[in-house]
Structure 1
Amino acid sequence: MLLLSGILAGVPVGASLAAAPVTSTGKPVALEGELDVLVEDYADGRSVTRHFLKTTHGRVELKFGRKPTTLLSGTRVRVRGQLAGGTLALDDGSSANVEVVQAALPYTMGEQRTAVILVNFQDDTSQPVTSSAAHSLVFTTVSNFYQEASFQQTWLAGQTFGWYTIPVSKSVCDTGAIYTEADKAVAASGADLSGYGRKIYMFPRNACGWTGLANVGGSVTRAWINGSFTLQAVGHELGHNQGLSHAHSRDCGSVTLGGTCTVSDYGDVADIMGAVRVGHFSPFQKELMGWLNDGVSPPIHTASTSGRYSIEPYSSSSVGPKAIKIPRGTDTSGRTLWYYVEYRQPIGADASMGTVGNLTKGVLVRLATEGDRYSSDLLDTTPASYSGSTGDFQDGALATGQSYNDAGAGVTITLASADTTGATVDVTFSGSTPPPTCTRAAPTVSISGSTAAVAAGSTVSYTVSLSNKDSSACAATTFNLAKSIPGGWTGTLAAGTLSLSPGASGSTTLSVTSPSTATAAGYGIGVGSSSAVGNAHTANASAIYTVASSGTLSETVGTNKTSYLRAETVSMSALVKNNDVPVNGASVKFTVTLPSGSTTVISATSGSDGYARGTYKTGKGKGAIGSYTLRADATSGSSTATASTGFSVQ
């Protein structure tokens, strides 16, 4: 396997992502870098998902036989495959050849610092929306939608910049040039974009065929809005930034779920991540983001037994149960397959659904696979009653008194009653025994290591431990680890992931090095966990790295005895302190001077107790008899200290 370096040229981001000419190495290669996942949304109902790897030498597109469903932008990965023409075809085409080095942690809660940047082109200086209207769209309309959908847990805050005319033609689709020149224009105006994790670029319609483009996930994201200045367009692309895929529909003809079905990429008629109307994100998606079934978020019933379950109107601001999860088996990888059941009412962002078919007169039923962001499929529980690509789903809700039966999974769902206050759903498992239910829980994460003060520039190693707290019915989970260290410091996780079965524990090492210029203080470091199943596996731990003050370095040295016999071993120790605080990681050189005048040097490093230790074995001959001198020279950062003692050999 050849490690590739120095041959990739940078290319722009987006639909114009034609890779720069790259000479094939003719051999398998391994690359490491940051993943950039992008979704292109087209007005004709098409979408394209593309994966790019940003390396220190440029950018290359990754080609999969089957695209992965769990990787997000910002994830650091190693990949293996065949490089040719600016693309890397992964070995055997699968995501198994993608090794996560460090995951991107979720960024779905709280204030989302957002910059809206309005640009037009050297050959089209039109301004199809005013700056104030764009600002109101994003920071009032879209922000209010997110605040409502997240139960007041997520909102947008920031500033709108522009209009700016950039030196780019509208006749080409070069989104890399758009964001580069837009950022330059903002900087030239005297503004600083460094405090914004999310950037939205809006521009008059240009040669790009899509209406929107966005990163999927990550804490630093971009979204491009191509002439479509609406809640549907902006809210949809920001959904991708939050880590969401599209909301699909699954049409199985004359049956709700069968062997021959057509999945429509944008077909969910009640979800903004579809393309039909603005509606709340599905329960599966909200659970991924931590907006349902996590912490203070409203709960989701998990149907672990046959029984009657009550749920509130989905878009109401109340905090009772908002949906029901019903297990329907597992896939070949051991992931739980679910039905999600919810009850829409014409409230808030869902108001427009009150006049559409029966969407607010029954419960909606969706499929989803645990951890698979691409798996949300709306079902039609009254199949073949409408015509048209999305029309049949307009009355797809399960009506009062009706039942949906999945004989293969042994599950029957019946809507017992529904009114403005909520819905009551009966769930029945064949033989009253449901499939084993997997209950996810936040893992336990801890960091342990030396608490002694160290000199600036020292490397300190910490042990990071994680315990899987999922129930025994869950499949093994690959937990992603991400470090948090002060700016300008370096840190390395020996392993970026830990794969653990429920109840199992694992550990890795985090090595942290402070700059040699760091001032004396205690600095927080941390590690966070995540996984493909969403916020349920978000946890973190922290520790304090203490930089010793640059006071006087002191040292004492001694031996375990003052007199030895020939061929006996001398145990030496040196205690290194800084302002009377033990120094961890100091370099110590022991110099033993023999009676003959010759010297022997032994090197050691001080531990968390400040002691450096070494041994010296005396000679067997008569020449070994006499007095010896032992000197210890200690170095910590730019400080040094010396101490001496002596011993004799008889």
Structure 2
Amino acid sequence: MPSVRDSAALGTPRLLRSLVVTAAVAASTLLPGAVAAADEPAGTSVTGRLVHAVAEAHPDEAAGHEGHGHAGDGAVAWVQPAAGDAVRVDPAAMADLPTGATVEVTLGSGTEGSDDEDEALEVLEKDVVALPVATPVLRDPAGLTNRVTVVLVRPAGVAADGVTEAQIVDTVNGPVADFWSRQSNGAVQLGVTRSHGWTATTAGCADAGALWNEVAATVGFAAGDGNHLLVYVSGAAPGCAYALAEVGTTTGTGGRLYVQTTSSSAIVHELGHNFGLGHSSAEQCDGAVEGSGCRTVGYRDLYDVMGVSRSLMGSLTVPQAARIGLLPAAQIQALTVQDAVTTTTLAPLSGTTGTRALRLTDAAGSVYWLEYRTATGQDGWLGTDADRHRLETGVLLRRAGTLPDTSVLLDATPGPASAWETDFQAALPVGVAVPVSGGAFTVVVQGVSPAGAVLTVTPTSTAGAAPAAPQPPPLSRGAR
């Protein structure tokens, strides 16, 4: 979920040893490693494959509860050399590089003054030796693009719990597969091709890499394009995250994940990480859409399953869908600060036709996205009693980001910081000019209805021109 963003001082680099990650206020989890500290001097270089992973907090401990932000989250990264042990590195320093890239990094130390040999090491320099090869999404003879191997595991001698093999298999083949098929308009077809009941392992959550490796060897799982190893870990096992997954690059990458829940939304969320997605988070600023006095809260975009993995699985945000190629180019309208004043109609995001996304790129290259949410399709729960946060239908504004927050919801009706904990209303109000990127664009929603939202965008270069005449909404006032 959210990320550890600060670098550390220089010092003695060390190899990864039982890597500890705390997910928000959730349980700790450990990742690949189990080697002794090394005595190489600061400035040592390591070359290998970059891996990003995310350890999840329990939904009750994530966004919207007790003001959790990015202070102690589950974003992690390591470099796996061709031979030898993995080296844990600062995830924030590597966030702009994709999983699977071959990198050369020059290492510093962990946190200044710390004796913790399990810390991520500072990255003094980084070079990309080779980018990952693009993975095409191919269908096997059964029509699947993504094949899931399910294994129920009771690690380190703990007892099995009451979850059954059929329970996990049916969840993956049912609501999980349905979600990804709908979000991709049929391009992603996943299903369980192999499953195994309760399997004892020596490794536990204290070393997730070793756990995955042991399970893979035991059941004969072969890593590869489109292949996913889904481990359900007994609820009796200590020291586990709510869920944990490797971050891939495309929907064809494949990957490994574990969960301690049967929740379909959690499994959908973790597969989203395997597909290359980070979290759908939110930025709140004190009385402003953007600027100073802001905080970014991981998971807080409750519209999207890549936010908090709760039972209400909303559509992927347009930054997320575009990131992994699930949003057709013909359904995206793009504007820059050099373009003319434009009035357009956004179709509902939960549909499959029309212009479903408006992309705004400012002079610095930052990308903002506008989408229109209605209480239909995957978002049909909006406005119902099930939506206890009272999320609004309407036009929403997001900024594209890097790991761990690849989609960031901005509040178009910002309130004071004192109200942040209970303020989940973020839709653009009708008839009000909303600045984007500090005024690089101005957006006015002219009218909304179940059929679409009419909005006018004024880029910086045309800001002095007469504003577009508000159009009488040809739409009803039904959706707001």
Give me the TM-score of the superposition, normalised by structure 1: 0.57
Q: What is the CA-CA distance between 1:196 and the residue it aligns to? A: 5.9
Q: Distance in 1 between matches of 2:119 and 2:193?
A: 37
User: SS of the residue aligned with 2:163?
Assistant: coil
Contact persistence 1:292–1:300 (CA under 8 A): no
Q: What is the CA-CA distance between 1:406 and the residue it aligns to? A: 4.4
CA gap of 1:81–1:174, structure 2 versus 1, over 3 A, is closer
1:337 to 349, 366, 369: 366
User: SS of the residue aligned with 2:270?
Assistant: helix
Q: Distance in 2 between matches of 1:193 and 1:244?
A: 19
Counting only pairs closer than 5 Å after superposition, residues 37-76 of structure 1 correspond to structure 2 as 37-43=52-58, 44-45=61-62, 47-64=73-90, 66-76=92-102
Counting only pairs closer than 5 Å after superposition, residues 223-302 of structure 1 correspond to structure 2 as 223-225=257-259, 227-275=260-308, 277-294=312-329, 298-302=331-335
Comparing both chains, which one has the higher relative contact order based on Cα–Cα distances under 8 Å and sequence gaps of 6 or more? 2
Question: What residue identity is the alignment partner of 2:47?
Answer: E
- 1:126 corresponds to: 160
CA gap of 1:300–1:389, structure 2 versus 1, over 3 A, is same
Q: What is the CA-CA distance between 1:146 and the residue it aligns to? A: 0.9
Contact persistence 2:152–2:234 (CA under 8 A): no
Q: What is the CA-CA distance between 1:54 and the residue it aligns to? A: 1.5
Q: What is the CA-CA distance between 1:360 and the residue it aligns to? A: 4.7
Q: Deviations over 1:123-171 (max 9, x none)?
A: 433343222221121122111111111222212123241212313376x
Q: What is the CA-CA distance between 1:375 and the residue it aligns to? A: 4.7
Contact persistence 1:82–1:88 (CA under 8 A): no
Question: What residue identity is the alignment partner of 2:174?
Answer: T
User: SS of the residue aligned with 2:332?
Assistant: coil
Contact persistence 1:400–1:415 (CA under 8 A): yes
- 1:211 corresponds to: 242
CA gap of 1:372–1:118, structure 2 versus 1, over 3 A, is closer
Q: What is the CA-CA distance between 1:381 and the residue it aligns to? A: 1.5
Q: Distance in 1 between matches of 2:279 and 2:138?
A: 20
Q: Deviations over 1:426-483 (max 9, x none)?
A: 112345269xxxxxxxxxxxxxxxxxxxxxxxxxxxxxxxxxxxxxxxxxxxxxxxxx
Counting only pairs closer than 5 Å after superposition, residues 12-51 of structure 1 correspond to structure 2 as 15-17=29-31, 19-26=34-41, 28-43=43-58, 44-45=61-62, 47-51=73-77
Alignment of 1:176 onto 2:209: yes
Number of equivalent positions: 410
- 1:374 corresponds to: 405
Counting only pairs closer than 5 Å after superposition, residues 222-621 of structure 1 correspond to structure 2 as 222-225=256-259, 227-275=260-308, 277-294=312-329, 298-302=331-335, 304-316=339-351, 318-330=352-364, 336-355=365-384, 356=387, 359-368=391-400, 374-384=405-415, 391-393=422-424, 395-406=425-436, 408-430=438-460, 432=462
- 1:97 corresponds to: 126
Q: What is the CA-CA distance between 1:68 and the residue it aligns to? A: 2.4
CA gap of 1:300–1:212, structure 2 versus 1, over 3 A, is farther
User: SS of the residue aligned with 2:85?
Assistant: strand
Contact persistence 2:343–2:454 (CA under 8 A): yes
Q: What is the CA-CA distance between 1:385 and the residue it aligns to? A: 8.6
Q: Distance in 2 between matches of 1:329 and 1:69?
A: 22
Q: Deviations over 1:337-367 (max 9, x none)?
A: 2321111122232122233467453211112
Q: What is the CA-CA distance between 1:259 and the residue it aligns to? A: 1.3
Contact persistence 1:247–1:265 (CA under 8 A): yes
Q: What is the CA-CA distance between 1:22 and the residue it aligns to? A: 3.5
Q: Of the two, which has the highest radius of gyration?
A: 1
Q: Deviations over 1:567-622 (max 9, x none)?
A: xxxxxxxxxxxxxxxxxxxxxxxxxxxxxxxxxxxxxxxxxxxxxxxxxxxxxxxx
Contact persistence 2:99–2:247 (CA under 8 A): yes
Contact persistence 2:285–2:292 (CA under 8 A): yes
Contact persistence 1:12–1:176 (CA under 8 A): no
What RMSD, in angstroms, separates the aligned Cα atoms of the two structures? 3.3
User: SS of the residue aligned with 2:282?
Assistant: strand
Question: What residue identity is the alignment partner of 1:380?
Answer: D
CA gap of 1:193–1:411, structure 2 versus 1, over 3 A, is closer
User: SS of the residue aligned with 2:447?
Assistant: strand
Q: Which runs of 5+ in 2 are unaligned?
A: 1-13, 22-28, 63-71, 111-116, 140-144, 465-480
Contact persistence 2:101–2:129 (CA under 8 A): yes
Q: Distance in 2 between matches of 1:162 and 1:186?
A: 8
Q: What is the CA-CA distance between 1:289 and the residue it aligns to? A: 0.7
1:153 to 187, 208, 228: 187
Q: Deviations over 1:55-103 (max 9, x none)?
A: 233223233394222223222222222589577845xx35x42323242
CA gap of 1:240–1:380, structure 2 versus 1, over 3 A, is same
Q: Distance in 1 between matches of 2:394 and 2:369?
A: 14
- 2:114 corresponds to: none
User: SS of the residue aligned with 1:139?
Assistant: helix
Contact persistence 1:42–1:209 (CA under 8 A): no
CA gap of 1:71–1:228, structure 2 versus 1, over 3 A, is same
1:115 to 149, 172, 176: 149
Q: Deviations over 1:527-563 (max 9, x none)?
A: xxxxxxxxxxxxxxxxxxxxxxxxxxxxxxxxxxxxx
Contact persistence 1:9–1:58 (CA under 8 A): no
Give me the TM-score of the superposition, normalised by structure 2: 0.76
Contact persistence 1:78–1:101 (CA under 8 A): no
- 2:474 corresponds to: none
Question: What residue identity is the alignment partner of 1:214?
Answer: A
**% identical equivalent positions:** 23
Q: What is the CA-CA distance between 1:264 and the residue it aligns to? A: 0.2
Q: What is the CA-CA distance between 1:401 and the residue it aligns to? A: 2.6
Contact persistence 1:164–1:182 (CA under 8 A): no
Alignment of 1:186 onto 2:219: yes
1:140 to 141, 164, 174: 174
Q: Distance in 1 between matches of 2:256 and 2:377?
A: 28
- 1:452 corresponds to: none
Q: Distance in 1 between matches of 2:434 and 2:16?
A: 55
CA gap of 1:77–1:405, structure 2 versus 1, over 3 A, is closer
Q: What is the CA-CA distance between 1:260 and the residue it aligns to? A: 0.9
Q: Distance in 1 between matches of 2:406 and 2:208?
A: 29
CA gap of 1:419–1:215, structure 2 versus 1, over 3 A, is same
CA gap of 1:207–1:358, structure 2 versus 1, over 3 A, is closer
User: SS of the residue aligned with 1:154?
Assistant: coil
Q: Distance in 2 between matches of 1:37 and 1:107?
A: 20
Q: Deviations over 1:23-53 (max 9, x none)?
A: 3123632222212211111222353222112
Name the structure where strand makes up a greater proportion of residues: 1
Contact persistence 1:9–1:20 (CA under 8 A): yes
Contact persistence 1:346–1:360 (CA under 8 A): no
Q: Distance in 2 between matches of 1:360 and 1:312?
A: 16
